[in-house]
Amino acid sequence: SSGAARTPDGALSVAGLDLRALAAEHGTPAYVLDEADFRHRARAYREAFEHAFASIGTGVDVYYAGKAFLSVAVARWAHEEGLRVDTATGGELAVALRAGIPGADIGLHGNNKSDAEIDRALEAGVGRIIIDSLGEVERVAAAVRARGGEPAPVMVRVTTGVHAGGHEYISTAHEDQKFGLSMAAAHDGAPSPALTALRLVLDHPELRLLGIHSHIGSQILDPSGFEVAAHKVMGLRAELAAQTGVLAPEVDLGGGFGIAYLPQDVPLDPARLAKDVASAVQGACVEHGTPLPRISIEPGRAVVGPSTLTLYTVGTVKDVTVGDGPEPFTRRYVSVDGGMSDNLRPALYGAQYHAELASRVGDEAPVLARVVGKHCESGDIVVHEVRLPADVRAGDLLAVPATGAYGRSMASNYNHVPRPPVVAVRDGAARVIVRRETEDDLLALDLG
């Protein structure tokens, strides 16, 4: 995070707090979250998009995608920085409500929402429900009918056919996957599922069509995918207007903005991205002769990812001779006290991370090392390849940067390992915002 630095004797600090002191007080592994960095990124996205869209003449709402990491504290910070909160389940909705976020500032997603989730969202008066299938149009309408009251504000999530993102599993707008409604017309010439769903929404007095939603993928580093998607969605909006006379007032372009994981990575720049997307939106509206919609976006990773590092303690160090060919080499395996239970991304996506010795600078020249966890499988890798001082040894602290997004939120209890705490640091002081799980927490679920 931007608040990371070295103390005079070589230890890593975050927001003015020496990580040795943090580890001594809170233990390891721990997610260490720099609150100022989180707030800064939230603000940077909001301001960049507000500025770019104000200059073409429309407004923007930024939703923090809670799936990346949600707790009561971060939901509040996001809201204090002028963001709304995007939730994908009843559980995330419950956290946002516990944080005191007004229903009107919350959105609910999900490709398979339960009746209970839909009802809870209506009860909370959420600002929007993002409809993900034709059947859901009827289900949300029926829930509104049963409750009575105002029509529910809804968006329809469409797939534009744009391929984007860091890995097949996190790329969401190509056709052969579970999310959204396709914009492609059927082979028999029937209208696309997207257009059909939008028209179906307009046919239901229990629903108020807020707009069209597109999310093209995650960890995207090239803005052109957003420009193509913006063009396509504006075309669909114009087509709906031509057919029905109803111009959807809003368009959401989703999240997916890529961050730096390795020192050499270049993240998406919010100002540049916002400018490019704004001119694509403007160009498409001019082309179709439609007034501009209000825009929203849903960044998760780009807000919380870089704010957090995971702090581990080194245990076993083992040199392994690799290969029996003419040039065998030695790989140093550095084991830490966590692993795939606190960061599934390397095992699931082959995601790359960096690691640094955090308790001191190290005395010897770096060697090629692999940082691994403590779980019972060989794919339990934390950092595939990193140069670490040759004298790294048991008891040293290691920091793995950029673990704030989809780290704690995808953590598991594999091997009955309690999940680490999230410790927020601000102005040299630490506060636990999610406490460490205990063995008793886990045993309490086991009814014998």
Q: In the complex, what is the shortest distance from the CB of residue 88 to ligand LLP, in angstroms, rounded to a whole number?
A: 7
Cβ atoms of 136 and 178 closer than 8 Å: no
Distance of CA 386 to the CA centre of its chain: 25
With contact defined as beta carbons under 8 Å apart, do 233 and 187 qualify?
Answer: no
Is residue 376 annotated as a catalytic residue, yes or no? Answer: yes
List 223, 270, 293, 299, residue binding ligand LLP (CB under 6 A): 299
* Nearest approach, Cβ of residue 213 and ligand LLP (Å): 7
Stretch that binds ligand LLP, among 53-61, 62-70, 353-361, 414-422 (CB under 6 A): 62-70
Q: Are 62 and 49 contacting, i.e. CB atoms less than 8 angstroms apart?
A: yes
Q: Which is nearer to ligand LLP, 67 or 426 (CB)?
A: 67
Q: How far is the CB of 405 from ligand LLP (least distance, A)?
A: 6
Phi-psi region of 15 (alpha: psi -120 to 50; beta: other; left: phi over 0): left
Show the beta-strand stretches assigned E in 302-380: 308-322, 329-336, 356-357, 366-372
Tell me the C-alpha distance between 192 and 87, whole Å.
Answer: 27
Both tokens of residue 380? 């339990």
| Cα end-to-end span (Å), the chain | 44
**Within 106-145, which residues bind ligand LLP (CB under 6 A)?**
109
Minimal distance, residue 348 CB to ligand LLP, in Å: 7
Place of tokens 């720099």: 34
Residues 391-410 within binding reach of ligand LLP (CB under 6 A): 405-406
Smallest distance from ligand LLP to CB 63, Å: 8
Q: Name the active-site residue from 116, 266, 365, 376.
A: 376
Applying CB under 6 A, which part among 30-38, 202-210, 211-219, 390-398 lies near ligand LLP?
211-219
Binding residues for ligand LLP restricted to 155-194, rule: CB under 6 A: 170
Restricting to residues 345-364, name those near ligand LLP by CB under 6 A. 345
Q: Tell me which residues in 19-58 interact with ligand LLP (CB under 6 A).
A: none
Can you tell me the distance from the alpha carbon of 176 to that of 161, in angstroms, rounded to the nearest whole number?
9
268 binds ligand LLP (CB under 6 A): no
CB of 440 to ligand LLP, least distance (A): 29
* 68 lies in the site for ligand LLP, by CB under 6 A: yes
Q: Closest CB to ligand LLP among 19 and 63?
A: 63
Q: Is residue 65 within the footprint of ligand LLP (CB under 6 A)?
A: yes
Query: H helices within 305-434, ranges in order?
Result: 345-349
Bond before 223 cis per omega within 30 degrees: no
Q: How many CB atoms lie within 10 A of CB 251?
A: 26
The whole-angstrom separation of Cα 295 and Cα 306 is: 25
Residues forming contacts to ligand LLP in the complex (CB under 6 A) are: 65, 67-68, 109, 170, 215, 218-219, 254-257, 298-302, 345, 405-406
Residues labelled catalytic: 376
